[in-house]
Amino acid sequence: MYRLRDLYIKTPLMKPLSSNERYQELAEKWLNHTISPQESEEFFQWYNSDQDNDIYIPNDYAESDQELKKRIFAEINQNISDPVSSQSYYTHKWFAVAALIIAVITAGLFFRSETKQILLPVAENIIEEPKLTPTERRISSVPESENTQTVVVNDIEAGENKAILTLGDGTKIILDDAKNGILANQGGNSVLKAAEGEVIYSFLNEVKDPLIEEQNTPVIYNTIETPKGGKFQIKLPDGSKVWLNAASSLRFPTVFNGSKRQVELKGEAYFEVSPDQSKVFEVNTRNQVVQVLGTHFNINAYLDEPTVNTTLLEGSVRVSDLRTNISQLLKPGEQSKLSEQMEVINLKNTNEAVAWKEGYFQFDEADIKTVMRQIERWYDVSVVYEGDLPNYRFGGEIERNLSLLQVLKILEKTKVHFRLEGREVIVMR
């Protein structure tokens, strides 16, 4: 998924070559095949040196991100496949500049070191490569010589739709292996697996007698659990939708009896609660309960996170500290942070809290441990730190469909280094 946005790159320690407009002019000439050899050399020299100025690509630079992507790909293929050239040199440079432009359009990542901010590009592989096993990826590099070196390295693919559904009788259903259709019948409900990684609970009978529901329907609890490297979506018996992030679980009844709709969450989930004025919806997490009637919100309650964060997107929710019975009513755009006590903050935007649901990582002044905790869960790896931790603050976006090595190579541009040994990531200075 490509995202066309206004982005910039800032890298340190080099005198600027010219104005931002000049770089924009050269980039456009390159794409339109009107750039001169002298301008090409200027553009390549600029790209292959560290700069101290911004590159700005506005949203209207191309009709669409896909159109611009096609133009760049065509240019790359033409120049890489062209056997003529004074040109192994220029082939490498064409490749580099094209990768840069795609990267700027795709996403950005910056880090802070003291007062300096650096935004780094994110790019996908732009040359199709032979398919390898899920734990191997062929990484190609084009050196300055005419010879091309290819090495096979250990890599880990991004997470996907994976979960286990545990029924009330202890039966476990591996949802990523199960075929679409009815999985079980419970307590007057059918449990179905739909396409696109979703489980749906629905009543077998359209008309239900409330008295029968209250008096005779046994309370059966099911649990859906995602492993590290997994995510899944579930539609509860009341019609509420829940998206589970990696390493998370949701425990819920197959029928919501009584005056409350109560569920238990471990990890992280995004909720779209179906309105029901007669039954409050409650989410119980570590040390807190969230009560709503119908709204959209995200809860991050991982045990390895320093705070439990509840972020409200629509409607209103009441967040209560179970240890003190102190509660706060949140408004859209607010986030409660619960640790030793509860704090409510106003967010500039709520994108960071729900970025995982939309398919990307988003950081805003995050330290290296915060970044690596997300990577650890999504790629099912363990993280080890060697030496002093870098005192950087990261911000920006990285797509979650990239492989682990691709993400680590992006992060390494911030002068943090990594070593991947099996499923262990070693963070080094």
pLDDT band with cut points at 50, 70 and 90 for residue 47: low
For the beta carbon of residue 292, count every other beta carbon within 10 angstroms: 23
Closest CA to 356 of 332, 373, 344: 373
Q: 66: part of which helix (H) or strand (E)?
A: helix 65-81
Closest CA to 240 of 256, 226, 216, 225: 256
Q: Quick check: 220 and 205 in contact, CB under 8 A?
A: no
Least-confidence region, from 112-126, 185-199, 238-252: 112-126
Cα 229 to Cα 158: distance, rounded to the nearest angstrom:
7
For the beta carbon of residue 375, count every other beta carbon within 10 angstroms: 21
For the chain, list the domains and their CATH numbers.
Answer: 20-106 (no CATH), 160-352 (2.60.120.1440), 359-389+396-428 (3.55.50.30)
| pLDDT per position as a tens digit, 258-313 | 889 999 999 999 999 999 989 999 999 999 999 998 899 999 999 999 999 999 99
Q: Which amino acid makes up residue 268?
A: E
Q: Quick check: 285 and 254 in contact, CB under 8 A?
A: no
- Position 198 pLDDT exceeds 70: yes
Cα 28 to Cα 188: distance, rounded to the nearest angstrom:
63
Closest CA to 396 of 8, 110, 101: 110
pTM here is: 0.69
